[in-house]
Amino acid sequence: MEEEKENTEEAKPEEEKIGEEVGVITHYFNKIGVGVVKIEKGSLKVGDKIRIKGATTDFEQTVESMQKEHESIEEAKEGESVGLKVKEHVREHDRVYKVE
């Protein structure tokens, strides 16, 4: 009986809880721990909480700083690519989500 209850709770797809997809990782600079994010939908601001998820990547962090063409920016809009300091290794094609 208990096993059935656990399976029912796990039946919900995890994607529902991720949040709003805003972009994709296009490059990662290993030495400086910076991922390049192409904003595909909406915008991303300093202070936003994000989740980066891919085949082997899955973590959350707060956006502490962003750069575009070596200039610090506060907000990135759709179509822009920005450098983002990340706390873990990210990979090309990892998806970036805004979470609450």
- Residue-wise pLDDT for 34-77, tens only, equals 999 999 999 999 999 999 999 999 999 999 999 999 999 999 99
Helix (H) or strand (E) holding 4: helix 2-10
DSSP single-letter state for residue 55: S
Listed by start position, the domains of the chain span 18-99
pLDDT of 11: 45
pLDDT of 9: 47
Architecture of domain 18-99 in this structure: Beta Barrel (2.40)
Surface-to-core class of residue 35, CB atoms within 10 Å of its CB (0-12 exposed, 13-18 middle, 19+ buried): buried
pLDDT tens readout for residues 7-29: 544 444 544 568 999 999 999 99
